[in-house]
Amino acid sequence: MMGNITESYDTSAKIFPNKIAIHTNHQQINYQKWSEWVNQTANWLSSLHSENKTIGILLPNGLPFLQLFAGASKAGWIAVPYDLKWKTTELEQRIKLSNPSIIVTTREMYNQMKDSILNLMSWDDSLREISRFETNIMRSTQENLPFYMGFTSGTTGNPKAFVRSQDSWIASFDCNRLDFEINEYDHVLIPGALIHSHFLYGAISTLYLGGTVYLLDKFSPIEGHSWIQSYPITTMYVVPVMIEAFLKQGIQIHKFIKLLSSGAKWSERSKLEIYNIFPNMTMYEFYGASELSFVTVLSEHDGRQKAATVGKPCYGVEVQIRQQDQVLAKPNKVGKIYVRSGLIINGYMDHDGAVHSIQDEEGWATVHDMGYFDEDGYLYITGREQNMILYGGINIFPEEIEKVISLHPDVEEVAVIGLPDSYWGQVVAAAVKGKGSPLELKRLCMKYLASYKIPRKWFFLSDMPYTTSGKIARAELKKHIESEVTSD
C-alpha cells in the first residue's frame, strides 16, 4: 500500500471546492484554499534542500499547526510537534533528540528563544515565504516515508522519540471508516490540543476523508457546548477528563452526536452519567497507544453491557495475551498484551538517528500493558507493567519525576506513584524519604517539569518498603499510601 496522508486534498478541492475544510474561532477555510495552502507549504519545504527533512512545530492549536503538519507530510518531511507547556530543559532535550532542520513558532516565543534555540523561525516569517510558492505541487513523494515523530518517556525517565510512517495512518483511516463509521459528511469537533496524537489524528483523518474539522483554540466545556449547539457537529473526539468537565458544568446536549474517546478508562459511574448529558449519543471508546495506534474498540451497544472492557480488536488488528513463558493465556487469565497490525510505529529513534523496530520477527509488539480476554473475546486492561500514571488521558512516567526530586540534597529516596482520582483518573503523588519540604521540592519540580507532572500529594516516610532484590516495592508502597489517604 502506497500513499500520503494528504493525497485526497486535491481531489476534495475538485469535487467540493467551497466546502469548509477547517473552521476555527478566527477563520474558515474551504477545500480549494486548504489544498493550495498545503501545496505551497510542501513546495516551500522542498525548496530548502534540507538533509534530514524534519520540521519542529511549536505552535498553539490553529490553522498554522495543521498547515505545517500536512505540508510537511506532503513534502515527504517528518513533522515533530513540541508542547508549549514544556519547560526549556524538556524542550531542549526533545529538540536534541529530533534534530529538526527548522522550528516554526509564534512571534512571541521566537523573540524569547531565538538566542538559545537554533533554526528557529516565526510563523509570520514562514508564511511570507510560503505564500511566494506555486499552489500546485511541484514534486510528489511516493514512497512510504516516515512523517510524524512523537515522544514517550522511557522507563529511564528520558524521553524516547518514535517515528511513524504514512502507511500506518492511512491504514488507521480504515478504522475510522469501518469501526467508527465516519465519512465526508461528518462535522468533527476537535476540542483538545493538537500536540496530543489523539486530537491531531482526529483532525488529519477527518481532512483525509473530506469532512469538516472544527478546532477549538483550547479546551473549554462552555465553548465546546456552544459550538455543538451552533454548528452542524456530528462527531467529537474526547478524552474522559473532558466529559468530567462537561458533567461539572451540568450541561445537557440533545443533539445526535458520536463521541470517540481514547485515553484513560472511563469509570462505570461516569459512563452512565454521560448518557444524562448526551441522551442521543453514540459512543466509541478505543484502547491504543502512541506506539500501536488503535488496538481495540468498544461500540455503544457493547458499552452498556460490558462497561468495564475496552472492546474487541479494531479492523486489521490482531491481539494476543501471553503469559510469562510466552504461552497464550486462556480466557480470564491475565498476561501481557501483544499486538500485530499495519498501524504500528516504525520504531524508536536513537541519538544517531537510527530507528529500532518494536516488532519481533513475526510482527508482534507490546507496550507492556497487562490484561485478559473474557470468554466473549472482549479485552480488559488490568494495568501497566511499568508503573505508568494515566492522568486525564496523558501518560506520565514516574521515573522522570523521581529523577528531578532526587536532585534535592536532602532527599535520600523517592518513589512517584499514581493515586486514584475520580476526575483525572489518577493524580501524581510522591513518597519521599529524607528532609526536603514540600514547597522546596515543588519549586524544584516547577523548574524542570511541565505543571501536570508536578506531584499533587506529598508523603514523607521514615522508611521505604523494599522487594527482596532491594528495589522499592511500589505495589506495597501504593497500598500503604492509599490506606493512609482513605483513613484521613
Q: What does the pLDDT average to over 62-80? A: 97
Estimate the crossing angle of helix 31-47 against helix 123-130, to 10 degrees: 100
Structure confidence at residue 309 (pLDDT): 85
For residue 408, pLDDT over 80 is answered with yes
The lowest-confidence range among 163-167, 409-413, 463-467 is: 463-467
Distance linking the first and last C-alpha atoms of the chain: 58
**CA–CA gap between residue 72 and residue 204 (Å, rounded):** 13
389-487: CATH, from 3.10.580.10, 3.40.50.11540, 3.40.228.10, 3.30.300.30: 3.30.300.30
Q: Residue 253: what pLDDT?
A: 86
DSSP-based three-state secondary structure for 384: strand
Residue with cell 473530506: 210
Measured between alpha carbons, how far is 285 from 275 in angstroms, rounded to an integer?
14
Give backbone dihedrals phi and psi of 146, rounded to 5 degrees, phi first. Answer: -65, 145
What gap in Å lies between CA 447 and CA 70, rounded to an integer?
A: 34
Identify which of 135-139, 256-260, 395-399 has the greatest average pLDDT: 256-260
* Confidence band of 264 (pLDDT split at 50, 70, 90): low
Amino acid, res. 264: A
447 backbone dihedrals φ, ψ, rounded to 5°? -70, -35
Of the candidate CATH numbers 2.40.10.120, 3.30.70.360, 3.40.50.12780, 1.20.1250.20, the domain formed by 9-383 belongs to: 3.40.50.12780
204 close to 70: Cβ distance less than 8 angstroms? yes
As a whole number of angstroms, the distance between CA 327 and CA 53 comes to 43
Residues spanned by CATH 3.40.50.12780 within the chain? 9-383
Contact (Cβ atoms closer than 8 angstroms) between residue 173 and residue 208: yes
Round to whole Å and give the CA distance between 410 and 435. Answer: 5
What's residue 403's pLDDT?
84
Residue 488 in 3-state DSSP?
Answer: coil
Calculate mean pLDDT across residues 456-475. Answer: 81
Q: Of 30-39, 243-252, 362-371, 415-424, which gets the smallest average pLDDT?
A: 243-252
Contacts of 235 (CB under 8 A, 6+ apart): 182, 186, 187, 188, 189, 257, 258, 259, 260
Q: How confident is the model at residue 383 (pLDDT cuts 50, 70, 90)?
A: low
Do residues 254 and 280 lie in contact, with contact meaning Cβ atoms separated by under 8 Å? yes
The pLDDT of residue 1 = 44
**Per-residue confidence band for 45, with pLDDT thresholds at 50, 70 and 90:** very high
Lowest mean pLDDT: which of 207-211, 458-462, 466-470? 466-470
Dump the DSSP string for 3-30: --TTTTHHHHHHH-TTSEEEE-SS-EEE
- The residue behind cell 494528504 is 6
Mean pLDDT, rounded, for 77-90:
93
Residues 6+ apart with CB under 8 A from 302: 309, 311, 312, 378
> Is the distance from CB of 438 to CB of 454 less than 8 angstroms?
no
DSSP string, 168-190: HHHHHHHHHHHTS---TT-EEEE
pLDDT score at 241? 79
Residues recorded for the chain: 488
DSSP H or E stretch at residue 108: helix 107-113
| Interatomic CA distance for residues 103 and 80, integer angstroms | 9
Task: Write out the residue limits of the CATH 3.30.300.30 domain(s) in the chain.
Answer: 389-487
Q: What is the pLDDT of residue 267?
A: 61
Rounded to two decimals, the pTM is: 0.84
